[in-house]
Chain A
Amino acid sequence: MAERFSSVQEVVDRLRDVDYLADTGIAGVVYLADRLEKPILVEGPAGVGKTELAKAVAAVTGSRLIRLQCYEGLDESKALYEWNYKKQLLRIQADREHETDWAVVESDIFSESFLLTRPLLEAIRCEEPIVLLIDEVDRVEVETEALLLEVLSDFQVSIPELGTIVGKQRPIVILTSNNTRELSEALKRRCLYLHIDYPELEREKEIVRVRVPEIDEALAEQIAQVVRSLRSLDIKKAPSISETIDWARTLLLLGHGAVDQEVIADTLHVLLKYQGDIAKAKKELVTEGKSILRGTESGKTS
């Protein structure tokens, strides 16, 4: 099928149109995935836009997003397909008088109309263009990972009773992982690897401005600075991009035109979710800040 993008720069531009700011790394890998027809494995801390990337790619390519949310205990019948045995049972019962030959019944109840498709099979059988998102793949057990392999490498599913169902297209497949455990080599080998980290100051500022258009540049800059400052602290959970955006919205709603110590102290809970972290950040930003000022002032006067 035709390529979706013609250059890395085009990926950047088109993603920007749907308010997703990609750096060269992200755009490069998306471009490559399109060309090589390989899935992308995205890793990184929570809230840096991994899932968002899949949504954005779906939006720019005009595809439907099919999402498989992974969790501990996910199995074949929830990810791939399941036989609708209740319906099968009804079919058999409807035939109480045995007027139909058993062989016919059997071939009937194992036909596609008795098949319940789950996200992976649905993605494979889909006619229209799709983006398949397999979210938080690190949550499934190592053994369950294996059932993804056939889909990832060949985009097909083998069902014993029906044979192999091969995908009609090669969609963009995006897997995300929060890095809670090491994924298997077999899975990694089949994927392109992308690690998204917290953005640089400039990019974060841009992201805030794109996602919260009403905000003015100076405030966006201050927000990005505060967030960078917080991330450099040794805290349990550093603020993510989505939290930064939430904070920007909060400031806007509260009508703060600039960030000062009071504002930070009042709204810090939007950025940080642990009491210990909040206390620490307050200590650092709100009081230690003063001592810095004193330091520079004494430097000036002496």
Chain B
Amino acid sequence: MAFNAAKLSDAMTRNKLEVPSGVGDGVLLDVFQGFVHELRAAGLPVSMTENLDAMRAVEIVPLSDRESLREVLAATLVKHFRHRSAFDTVFDVYFALHSGGVNPEEDAERGEVGDAEETGGVPGQQGSGGSGEGVSNEEIAEMLLAALMSMDRDQLRELAAMAVSRFAGMEPGRPVGGTYYLYRTLRQLDYEALTGRMMERAAEQVLDGDTDSPDASESLEARFQREEYEARLREFRDLVEAEIRKRLVADRGVEAMARTLRKPLPEDVDFMHASREEMAQLQKAIEPLTRALAARLAQRRKHRNRGNLDFRATVRHSLSYGGVPVEPRFKHPRVSKPEIMVVADISGSVASFARFTLQFVYAMAGQFSKVRSWVFIDGIDEVTNYFAESDEISEAIHRVNTEADVVWVDGHSDYGHAFEVFHDRHLSEVTSKTSIILLGDARNNYHASQAWVLKELRQKARRLFWLNPEPRGYWDTGDSIVSDYGVHCDGTYECRNLRQLERFVAAVIEA
């Protein structure tokens, strides 16, 4: 949606009813509208009402209270927890530079460098400002370790600033993203090994000081200690990141910076290229979706109160009202128990999608009593039990990958053969209650399609869907034969990210 900040601010200042007077005039409103504009550019759906709410909200909290401001803006503008991290990124960019009133401690902090470090009791300190010249790299590492051990947040912030000026090698105007600098800084600090060093340090301290006799619970303590240190390190990492971001903003300006930091929202992350963290996030999101799908395919509620009239019960009940049939009674509708069959391609061409697919199947199995699943490459094998017997998704996937008998000839996808075998073995089990979901890219290596199998399946089954992880533009190119199969399906859906999966679920729901 095209959005004109100037126009809005104009409209808002003119309309006294809606505009809070404090925010309404000039610069500040522009900042906030720029902020909202950037949120929209990052993909967050911010409506006009929410925008107005946010402006009213901003007037209520003191602008000097940065954290309250953050929460207040988040409460009015971000209506989904998955969007929160995107919001925080934009917030940090926008309200770090505009820090005159927002973050007053910043300037003061610069002057205090010397003090803070002296209280830290570090030798060789000359109080020389942010870059900490005259301190050797080893000393920085030592100071960092000390600060982490005592969890001195001020000191950590100092050190983060110092480490960035020293190690990141930032050059003005160089078009590199923040992650590059972050990586450089952390590598120089030997970030990966820090937990271990903190553990050692802690062990030494215990030896020097009051030695508690090492009893059975100490191993637990070691574990907690490690977790505590990891949490501290994460905090430090965030500080470094914030520092880098602050400098990049100063170098390039807010809008350019916000643009470079823009990442796809979780629901837009491509399954095929998702990082491990993103995958973990997706996994969490899949569950509610399958639940929605489950509820819909089952359609338990649709028939509520729609059973046939139970005449006997109605008459019996009417006696309590003197024979007037006030409340008609209905027979309980039969609850339909849906069966779902998931047939998924797990060949190399869709490997990362397959992982997601299996997670999807696993989540479905938790929702429906009757989910059966198959995987195939050129052979096909039922894997229902792997999911039922494994407590964990990773274990199930491991078993599927190692134990399932999915290779028939050469381990290249052969949809035709797989479907044919499925037809021979299981067609009799497909009933009018069965919904079938097929997952795959339909790249058949020029084998025979055997599309007639799907035609027969569809005749017997309640519904038949095809989810394809490839962009629609690639369909039917090369050896892809999606439409050969697609004509026999109730629907073919592109399914590369959460948003599309949600759309599929919604489509099933509306159908």
Contact = CB atoms under 8 A, between A and B. Distances in A.
Contact of A188 (B72, B79, B216): B79
A28 B75 CA distance: 9
Contacts of A44: 81
Interface in B234-286: none
B476 interface: no
Report the interface size class on chain B: 35 or more
B303 to A, nearest CB: 12
A193 interface: yes
Given A201-B231, A232-B227, A293 B326 contact: no
Contacts of A29: 71-72, 75
A83 B173 CA distance: 71
B199 interface: yes
A43 B81 contact: yes
Interface residues of A, number: 61
B287 to A, nearest CB: 9
A249 interface: no
Contacts of A62: none
A261 interface: yes
Contacts of B220: 226, 259-261, 264, 285, 289
B502 interface: yes
Given A8-B68, A193-B74, A292 B79 contact: no
A258 interface: yes
A266 interface: no
Contacts of A291: 219
Nearest to A85: B326
Interface stretch (A53-61, A178-186, A209-217): A178-186
Contacts of B326: 85-86, 89
- The majority secondary structure among interface residues of chain B is helix
Interface stretch (A13-21, A30-38, A106-114, A167-175): A30-38
Contact of B304 (A73, A191, A234, A292): A73
Interface of A: 8, 24-25, 28-29, 31-32, 35-36, 38, 40-41, 43-44, 72-73, 85-86, 89, 93, 141, 179-182, 185, 188-189, 191-195, 201, 222, 225-226, 228-229, 232, 234, 236, 258-262, 264, 276, 279-280, 285, 288-293, 296, 299-300
13 contacts: A24-B67, A32-B61, A32-B75, A41-B79, A179-B288, A188-B80, A189-B49, A192-B75, A192-B76, A289-B223, A292-B226, A293-B222, A296-B203
Interface of B: 45, 47, 49-50, 53, 56-57, 60-61, 65, 67-68, 71-72, 74-76, 78-81, 84, 199-200, 203, 207, 214-220, 222-224, 226-228, 231, 288, 291-292, 301, 304, 321-322, 324, 326, 391-392, 394, 502
